Structure 1
Amino acid sequence: MDEIMKGDKLVLRGMMFHGYHGVKPEERKLGQKFLVDVDAWMDLQAAGNSDNLSDTVSYTDIYRVVKAVMEGSPHNLLESVAQLIATTALSKFPQVSAVRVQVGKPHVAVVGPVDYLGVEIIRHRTTGEQT
């Protein structure tokens, strides 16, 4: 896996969505802002040589997966949200060998200042793909 994680990747940073994920009733009723980052490891050499979109995965296609999950059916845990994003990306895009998903909540009721609190998961095709 370490070798996979050192290769080429698509990078999506700072995606923001309003969703209704959380355990508390007010999170489910009012919703809140979520921040999402995704890395998708895949070989980008063919696309680099050809300059052809068909030799890669479009950033917008990955963005659509994230948007559908984040703005879709509510989940109690960010772990579940991140898992669904990761497994969907791996199943929809066979070129992707591994994916890192970070989901954060910037508005969390804690004593003290924070940028956000959240989770980060890494899944790869050989052990992390669950369709």
Structure 2
Amino acid sequence: MDKIFVEGMRFYGYHGAYRAENELGQRFNADVVLEMDTRNAASTDELEDTVNYALVYSLAQEIIEGDAVQLVETLANRLADRLLEVFPPVQGVTVKVTKPDPPIHGHYNAVAVEVSRERRRNEH
């Protein structure tokens, strides 16, 4: 299966299990991999036959900058489900949501959740 990557999207949201996260907010990054057969898009050279990258960004922004949730897992799952809903040609999606500055002690680069979802056979 072919893959389309939308990487390094950056957002600011108010998600987290702690009050300070909900009040002050923090940075979130998102990476998306969409699996689909791109041959039709390549042959027609038409945007409507593939994934619109700007719309992928807008959907990620809507979810990550939207209503506050406690868990990064919730954000990743919501985005994966929404991408499959909006783009019928996509057969599978991997979403990684990274929280670069979580309120935990220690030395680390970031924490992240990555989810992969496939379209069910009877979905289209």
Question: TM-score, normalised to structure 2's length?
Answer: 0.92
Is residue 110 of structure 1 aligned with residue 119 of structure 2? no
Unpaired segments ≥5 residues, structure 2:
none
Letter aligned with residue 83 of structure 2: A
Deviation (angstroms), 1:110 = 2.8
Is residue 91 of structure 1 aligned with residue 76 of structure 2? no
Q: Any idea what SS the aligned residue of 1:126 has?
A: coil
Mapping for residues 15-94 of structure 1, pairs under 5 Å: 15-94=9-88
Checking the alignment, whether the CA contact within 8 Å between 1:35 and 1:104 is kept in structure 2 is: yes
2 CA distance for matches of 1:117 and 1:37? 14
2 CA distance for matches of 1:74 and 1:37? 20
- Provide the aligned C-alpha RMSD in A: 1.3
Q: Any idea what SS the aligned residue of 2:79 has?
A: helix
Checking the alignment, whether the CA contact within 8 Å between 1:10 and 1:59 is kept in structure 2 is: no
Deviation (angstroms), 1:117 = 0.5
1 CA distance for matches of 2:51 and 2:99? 27
Q: Between the two proteins, what is the percent identity of the paired residues?
A: 38
1 CA distance for matches of 2:56 and 2:48? 14
Unpaired segments ≥5 residues, structure 1:
1-6
Is residue 120 of structure 1 aligned with residue 114 of structure 2? yes
Question: TM-score, normalised to structure 1's length?
Answer: 0.88
User: Which of 13, 17, 26 is the equivalent residue of 2:7?
Assistant: 13
1 CA distance for matches of 2:23 and 2:110? 20
Letter aligned with residue 116 of structure 1: A
